[in-house]
């Protein structure tokens, strides 16, 4: 069978860092075009916009939307209407409600819509989930601290409404948490620190629980210089689990259970190919729902103005 002909929309940091190598390494899918206003890739057909791509390259079967979240719904709707399978970078959109009509459109057309959560493809996530299914968690502490200037250099969209600010990385922790815990969680309180000159938070502190009263505390910070922290520590009936490096490493009472080079995006593209083959969708809005809850329930504080 011929590989699925894929186009990347929005050739920015994540498309170059992760999507290009993962697509090249995945059987069953091949990069056939780029739609990006400013960026091109040697040897690959280029279109300035998604509209031009859809009009002029009917052979394209699927698109990966690597643009900022604020414009993604409209692009996904256009691509689905044109009969393309759609992969959404995280977060899947700028609001929770905009996604259901996309799922309906995909299902009605027999197309795949895949809302990716790349951190769920980190190697320690499934082992942690299996462990917690057998050993009840007693408390959870999340520390997600990174340097926005390193990971999102000059990306003003991230501090615009819908850009999520520090929840752009924080939602990755929530995507892991919602996968590994045995029960649904819900927010009980939050504090969100907004720079005076920006529309999205630069730091946040959150408390969640579940139906059993499990205490879950999370600290998100976008101004972490030096070593970066992407850790989830879980006290459980079977010992203390520590997922670190964003889910690449797992220890139990200090003993290493998993320590693998991160290969999240290869897993994403294998899953996309499989979903398309099965005519299925994969859209889980739980992480986005928790972030929306934080914006709804969170107390807002002022932080110093932010500049790059």
- Active-site residue set: 90
Element (H, E) at 240: strand 239-244
Residue closest to 167 by CA, chosen among 245, 96, 101, 84: 96
Sign of CA dihedral 207, 118, 287, 260: negative
Q: Number of residues in contact with ligand NAP, rule: CB under 6 A?
A: 23
Residue nearest to ligand NAP (CB): 12
Closest approach, Cβ 251 to ligand NAP, in A, equals: 24
**Does the protein bind ligand NAP through residue 246 (CB under 6 A)?**
no
x/- mask, ligand NAP, residues 64-103, rule CB under 6 A, reads --xxxx-x-----------------xx-------------
Tell me the HSE value of 286 on the side-chain side, using a 13 A CA sphere.
18
**Of 12 and 195, which has the nearer Cβ to ligand NAP?**
12
**Does the protein bind ligand NAP through residue 186 (CB under 6 A)?**
no
Element (H, E) at 71: none
Closest approach, Cβ 105 to ligand NAP, in A, equals: 21
Closest approach, Cβ 117 to ligand NAP, in A, equals: 10
**Of 155 and 228, which has the nearer Cβ to ligand NAP?**
155
Please give the Cα distance from 241 to 255 (Å, whole number): 9
Q: End-to-end CA distance of the chain: give it in Å, rounded.
A: 47
Q: Beta partners for 88?
A: 65, 115
**By three-state DSSP, how is residue 77 classified?**
helix
Cβ-contact 287, 178 below 8 angstroms: yes
From 62-70, 200-208, 267-275, 298-306, span contacting ligand NAP (CB under 6 A): 62-70
**Of 168 and 231, which has the nearer Cβ to ligand NAP?**
168
Closest approach, Cβ 230 to ligand NAP, in A, equals: 11
Q: Which of residues 26, 36, 112, 251 is near ligand NAP by CB under 6 A?
A: 36
Q: How far is CA 282 from CA 112, 256, 272, in A?
A: 8, 31, 9
**Does the protein bind ligand NAP through residue 28 (CB under 6 A)?**
no
Edge-first strand order for the sheet with 216-221 is 255-259, 249-252, 239-244, 229-236, 137-145, 216-221, 203-210, 185-195, 299-303
Rule CB under 6 A: which of 4-23 touch ligand NAP? 10-15
Q: Which of residues 28, 129, 141, 151 is near ligand NAP by CB under 6 A?
A: 151
**Does the protein bind ligand NAP through residue 162 (CB under 6 A)?**
no
x/- mask, ligand NAP, residues 106-145, rule CB under 6 A, reads ------------x---------------------------
Determine if residue 185 is left, alpha or beta; phi over 0 gives left, psi from -120 to 50 gives alpha, anything else beta. beta
From 35-43, 77-85, 123-131, 274-282, span contacting ligand NAP (CB under 6 A): 35-43
Q: How far is CA 195 from CA 97, 200, 207, 250, 302, in A?
A: 27, 8, 22, 34, 6
Question: Which residues would be at the binding site for ligand NAP (CB under 6 A)?
Answer: 10-15, 36-39, 66-69, 71, 89-90, 118, 151-152, 155, 157, 168
């Amino acid at each position: 069978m011929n590989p699925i002909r894929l186009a990347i929309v929005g050739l920015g940091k994540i498309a170059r860092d992760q999507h290009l190598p993962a697509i090249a390494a995945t059987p069953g899918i091949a990069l056939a075009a780029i739609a990006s206003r400013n960026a091109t890739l040697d040897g690959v057909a280029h279109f300035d916009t998604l509209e031009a791509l859809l009009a002029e390259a009917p052979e394209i079967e699927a698109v990966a939307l690597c643009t900022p979240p604020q414009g993604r719904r409209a692009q996904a709707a256009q691509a689905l209407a044109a009969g393309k399978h759609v992969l959404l970078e995280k977060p899947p959109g700028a609001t929770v409600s905009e996604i259901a009509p996309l799922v309906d459109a995909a299902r009605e057309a027999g197309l795949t819509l895949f809302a990716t959560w790349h951190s769920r493809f980190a190697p320690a996530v499934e082992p942690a989930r299996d462990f917690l299914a057998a050993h009840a968690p007693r408390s959870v502490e999340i520390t997600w601290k990174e340097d926005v200037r390193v990971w999102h250099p000059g990306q003003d969209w991230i501090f615009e409404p819908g850009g999520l600010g520090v929840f752009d990385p924080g939602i990755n922790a929530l995507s892991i948490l919602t996968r590994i815990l045995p029960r649904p969680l819900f927010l009980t309180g939050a504090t969100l620190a907004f720079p005076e000159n920006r529309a999205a938070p630069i730091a946040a502190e959150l408390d969640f629980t579940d139906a059993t009263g499990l205490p879950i505390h999370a600290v998100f910070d976008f101004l972490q210089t030096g070593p970066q922290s992407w850790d989830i520590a879980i006290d459980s009936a079977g010992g203390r689990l520590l997922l670190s490096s964003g889910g690449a490493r797992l220890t139990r009472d200090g003993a290493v259970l998993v320590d693998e080079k991160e290969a999240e995006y290869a897993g994403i593209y294998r899953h996309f190919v499989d979903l398309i083959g099965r005519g299925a969708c994969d859209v889980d809005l739980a992480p986005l729902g928790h972030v929306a809850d934080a914006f709804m329930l969170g107390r807002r504080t002022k932080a110093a103005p932010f500049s790059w």
